[in-house]
Structure 1
Amino acid sequence: MSADSYLTITEATQEVLHKDRGSKFYGHVFPLNDEQDVPGLIAPLRNKYPKAGHHCYAWKLGAGEDHYRSNDDGEPNHSAGDPILSQVNAYEVSDVLVVVSRIFGGTKLGVGGLIQAYREAARLSLESARLMRRLITSEVQIDFEYAQMSQVMRFIDANNYTIKQQELTHTCRMIIAVPQSQQEEVVEEVNKMYPITGVAVD
């Protein structure tokens, strides 16, 4: 991953089916913005696959490596959630929820078989996903007079920055989103455009 972006998915995937010795593993990948949304995304799968005894999953949020969870949903410990999470990490994606719903086929797979099957269902699901790169941004506040409006807008347009907020009263204030690694550099550049002032926003 670059310092200013990470991979995620553009939309939820269609159902992917992996079969192993009679058991069926249905995989789905969903965009995820908040871990509180996980139960609501899994609930429809419980209705879609009423014979499924397990809906195992893993999710990851943000650009860091420390905001994730996995869940075995009744399968032996570490036989389902962790293999799913391993594929999330292998594809280097985030802001995603991967769910694999299992319908038992009559033959026990053992822990090793479960690990392999859940990993494969997750891999097939992620393989079918459309990926996009999400920019990590920080904010810079720019204060200026009306007379500098055209100068500020040229600066913003030339660098493809996004205006997040603006206040136009007797003076002007804009908050723009810039690549995270460039925040200090942008502040310095803005402050060279006298009498325009730029400050980093936490």
Structure 2
Amino acid sequence: MEIKSCTVYRGGQGEIIEKKSRFIAVIEPAASEDEALMVLERLRKKYWDASHHCYAYIIGQKNSLMRCSDDGEPAQTAGRPILDVLTGASLHNVIAVVIRYFGGTLLGTGGLVRAYSRAAQEGLAQSVIIEKKPGCQLTISCDYTDMGKIQYLLAQNEIPTLDSVYTDTVTLHVLFPLDRFPSLKADIMEAAGGRPVFSEPLTVTYANVDGEVLILDKEI
């Protein structure tokens, strides 16, 4: 089974009220532990008068570093539930901080777990989360007579054309999902009689953001 790899494209903030306690969840991207700790310190200063600043962060594509803190709440009632929300969403390079203003009523361990989980989920709901996918970026050069067949196959398979250049031939800049490239290349070559010329594919990581294709980097 393919393991999803997601990250925060744009952070967000959510809030819930539980028995007069206010829980503010802030989600932000963090590419390193230093970045995560800088976010935490900034939020501690901003919400200096809060009762607790509980958090969790995950650094590294393979979750090489995971940390969480209950910040004075009963053990396993805050940091761990926040971390579970992040791992459940397959997120990497992210920090979630949930700030609590105590409302005067004790919630109990079960109530705290539910409140911190709900707050973190609300923060994620207000963020833009993207799924990172492996792909290959390349050009296809073809004659005008073959262009329609190729564009039809690309459209049928929802393969994005990043750019098109029209000279004496047509050059299409295309992004294929890595696992589908060999079979789709074979289909295109068959449909166009073996005439299209494919450039050397460049391995990239990409994501779909608001209906647009975003190239994240040139190496996976």
State whether TM-score is above 0.5.
yes
Counterpart check, 1:138 vs 2:117: no
For 1:138, give the aligned amino acid: G
How big is each residue's C-alpha offset from its partner over 1:142-178, in whole Å with a ceiling of 9 and x where there is no partner?
Answer: 3213423333222222222112355555554433233
CA, structure 1 residues 189+32, in 2 after alignment: closer, same or farther (shift >3 Å)? farther
- For the residue of structure 2 that corresponds to 1:94, the secondary structure is coil
**The 10-residue stretch of structure 1 (142-151 or 170-179) with the greater mean CA deviation from structure 2:** 170-179
Match for residue 12 of structure 2?
12
Structure 1 spans left out of the alignment, 5+ residues: none
Give runs of aligned pairs for residues 21-40 of structure 1, distance below 5 A.
24=21, 26-30=23-27, 32=29, 34-35=31-32, 38=36
Measured in 2, the distance between the counterparts of 1:39 and 1:121 equals: 23
- For the residue of structure 1 that corresponds to 2:49, the secondary structure is coil
Counterpart check, 1:51 vs 2:49: yes
Counterpart check, 1:72 vs 2:69: yes
**The 10-residue stretch of structure 1 (155-164 or 143-152) with the greater mean CA deviation from structure 2:** 143-152
Task: Answer yes or no: is the 8 Å Cα contact 1:4–1:180 preserved in 2.
Answer: no
- For the residue of structure 2 that corresponds to 1:14, the secondary structure is strand
CA, structure 1 residues 116+106, in 2 after alignment: closer, same or farther (shift >3 Å)? closer
Match for residue 122 of structure 1?
116
Give runs of aligned pairs for residues 144-155 of structure 1, distance below 5 A.
144-147=141-144, 148-155=146-153
Match for residue 96 of structure 2?
98
CA, structure 1 residues 174+66, in 2 after alignment: closer, same or farther (shift >3 Å)? farther
Structure 2 spans left out of the alignment, 5+ residues: 204-220
Task: Answer yes or no: is the 8 Å Cα contact 1:57–1:100 preserved in 2.
Answer: yes
CA, structure 1 residues 44+127, in 2 after alignment: closer, same or farther (shift >3 Å)? same
Provide the identity percentage: 20
How big is each residue's C-alpha offset from its partner over 1:63-111, in whole Å with a ceiling of 9 and x where there is no partner?
Answer: x6425532428559x7553332123224x342554211244689999xx
**The 10-residue stretch of structure 1 (121-130 or 32-41) with the greater mean CA deviation from structure 2:** 32-41
Measured in 1, the distance between the counterparts of 2:39 and 2:167 equals: 44
Measured in 2, the distance between the counterparts of 1:14 and 1:107 equals: 21
For 1:72, give the aligned amino acid: S
Deviation at 1:5, TM superposition (A): 5.3
TM-score for the superposition, normalised by structure 2 = 0.59
For 1:201, give the aligned amino acid: L
Measured in 1, the distance between the counterparts of 2:153 and 2:114 equals: 48
How big is each residue's C-alpha offset from its partner over 1:29-86, in whole Å with a ceiling of 9 and x where there is no partner?
Answer: 5363745764675566435522126433224478x6425532428559x755333212
Match for residue 81 of structure 2?
83
Task: Answer yes or no: is the 8 Å Cα contact 1:163–1:177 preserved in 2.
Answer: yes
Deviation at 1:124, TM superposition (A): 0.6
Q: Aligned residue pairs: how many?
A: 192
TM-score for the superposition, normalised by structure 1 = 0.63
For 1:94, give the aligned amino acid: L
Say which of 188, 191, 194 aligns to 2:189. 191
Match for residue 201 of structure 1?
202
Task: Answer yes or no: is the 8 Å Cα contact 1:4–1:135 preserved in 2.
Answer: no
Task: Answer yes or no: is the 8 Å Cα contact 1:142–1:174 preserved in 2.
Answer: yes
Give the CA RMSD over aligned residues. 4.5
Match for residue 3 of structure 1?
2
- For the residue of structure 1 that corresponds to 2:14, the secondary structure is coil
For 1:14, give the aligned amino acid: G
Measured in 1, the distance between the counterparts of 2:6 and 2:46 equals: 29
